[in-house]
């Protein structure tokens, strides 16, 4: 099968969907790999590294899209790429369609077979292709919170770990999944006072055992959420409903009770954000202020560390890529978890939450 890899064009996105090592495994298995010129440069991979792995370098994105039977990306196609979508290729990437009606419409209109990394389910459950980037994003969220607490950047001027005789920053993590656990882990490591809010009792027990008192672990209910957010220096939104839009847990009204110049890091922004006041930002212009609260809502946080993220992503996706390259229909039939990743096929939306979000968007329009 011809497997294509294009250069990401989302602002400040430096990751690439396949490492040269991954390309080598595919070419050694008899597949043809097409890589757009310069696609790996942002992650530290020169074109020559792909050539040495048996891949063919192609100058233009249009040619890669047009020739590929399996098209690999990192981030969802953005508007300039909509015209390149076609029904003859399978697209394998992060999609987050519940928060992106225009892309959903484009995939449906073009009949594209679109498989989303974030809804593929592993053999033992979980989301194995979302997990590595969630780990990265969670760790970066704590770093971002610490960084933007600095007064010159708009924050409260609080050192996240404090110093002897001076209290550390209070960090509230909403959601105890992969993102939340990694955010809390790094924040604890920096010396912050960390509270994790989670609704699953089994997960609460796991978190309590994991952190062994180094972080407070509380049941997340509306009153507790409001109370904890009001006293936080940093709030990290780590909420996930697989395939669906994130619930709006932080209302505009709640911002009035927050500390002046506190920081919200909304990692859920790919799914629309868990704060009512969240709107996507970029690495080039990452923050804005609403009601004296600094918002950091970068929609591709792991793109800030592409040398790490690209390797972690390929480690996770490559077994699925190899299966799809041996035959898409066969791979989907053999793996129900991979089948759950199919969001759109033949002009039909296969994920109910995505269909509901699109209908809601059409109604609002």
pLDDT in tens, 298-323: 989 999 999 999 999 999 999 999 99
Q: What percent of the chain has pLDDT over 70?
A: 99
233 is catalytic: no
Catalytic residue among 100, 233, 266, 270: 270
59 is catalytic: no
In this prediction, residues 343-347 reach a mean pLDDT of: 94
Dist CA 225 CA 193 (whole Å): 16
pLDDT of residue 361: 79
pLDDT in tens, 237-290: 999 887 778 899 999 999 999 999 999 999 999 889 999 999 999 999 999 999
Show the domains of the chain with their CATH numbers.
Answer: 2-120+306-364 (3.40.50.720), 131-303 (3.40.50.720)
pLDDT in tens, 137-168: 999 999 999 999 999 999 999 999 999 999 99
pLDDT of residue 151: 98
Catalytic residue among 96, 100, 233, 266: 96
Q: Can you list the pairs that 328-335 forms with residues at least 24 positions away whose Cβ atoms lie under 8 Å?
A: 328/70, 328/90, 328/113
In this prediction, residues 60-81 reach a mean pLDDT of: 96
Are the beta carbons of 249 and 174 closer than 8 angstroms? Answer: yes
Q: What percent of the chain has pLDDT over 90?
A: 89
Question: Which residues lie closer than 8 Å to 352 by C-beta, 6 or more apart?
Answer: none
The tokens describing 24, both together, are 């080598």
Are the beta carbons of 64 and 38 closer than 8 angstroms? Answer: no
Directed axis angle between helix 131-148 and helix 306-325, to 10°?
Answer: 160
């Amino acid at each position: 099968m011809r497997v294509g890899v294009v250069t990401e064009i989302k602002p400040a996105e430096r990751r690439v969907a396949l490492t040269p090592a991954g390309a080598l495994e595919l070419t050694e298995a008899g597949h043809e790999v097409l890589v757009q010129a310069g696609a790996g440069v942002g992650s530290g991979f020169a074109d020559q590294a792909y050539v040495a792995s048996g891949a063919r370098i192609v100058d233009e994105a249009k040619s890669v899209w047009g020739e590929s039977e399996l098209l690999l990306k990192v981030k969802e196609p953005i508007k300039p790429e909509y015209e390149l979508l076609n029904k003859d290729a399978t697209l394998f990437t992060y999609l987050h369609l519940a928060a992106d009606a225009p892309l959903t419409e484009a995939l449906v209109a073009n009949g594209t077979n679109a498989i989303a990394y974030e809804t593929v389910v592993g053999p033992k459950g979980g989301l194995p292709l979302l997990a590595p980037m969630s780990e990265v994003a969670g760790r970066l969220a704590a770093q971002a919170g610490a960084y933007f607490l600095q007064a010159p950047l708009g924050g409260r001027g609080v050192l996240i770990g404090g110093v002897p005789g001076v209290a550390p920053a209070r960090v509230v993590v909403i959601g105890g999944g992969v993102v939340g656990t990694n955010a809390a882990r790094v924040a604890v490591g920096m010396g912050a006072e960390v509270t994790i809010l989670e609704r699953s009792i089994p997960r609460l027990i796991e978190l309590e055992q994991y952190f062994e008192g180094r972080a407070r672990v509380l049941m997340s209910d509306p009153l507790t959420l409001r109370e904890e957010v009001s006293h936080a220096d940093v709030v990290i939104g780590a909420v996930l409903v697989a395939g669906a839009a994130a619930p709006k847990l932080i209302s505009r009204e709640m911002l009035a009770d927050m500390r002046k110049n506190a920081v919200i890091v909304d990692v859920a922004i790919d799914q629309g954000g868990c704060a009512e006041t969240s709107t996507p930002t970029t690495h080039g212009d990452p923050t804005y202020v609403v009601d004296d609260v600094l918002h950091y809502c970068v929609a591709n946080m792991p793109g800030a560390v592409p040398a790490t993220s690209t390797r972690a992503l390929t480690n996770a996706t490559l077994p699925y890529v190899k299966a799809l390259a041996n035959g898409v229909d066969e791979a989907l039939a053999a793996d129900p978890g991979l089948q759950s990743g199919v969001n759109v096929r033949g002009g039909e939306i296969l994920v109910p939450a995505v269909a509901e979000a699109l209908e809601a968007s059409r109604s609002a329009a």
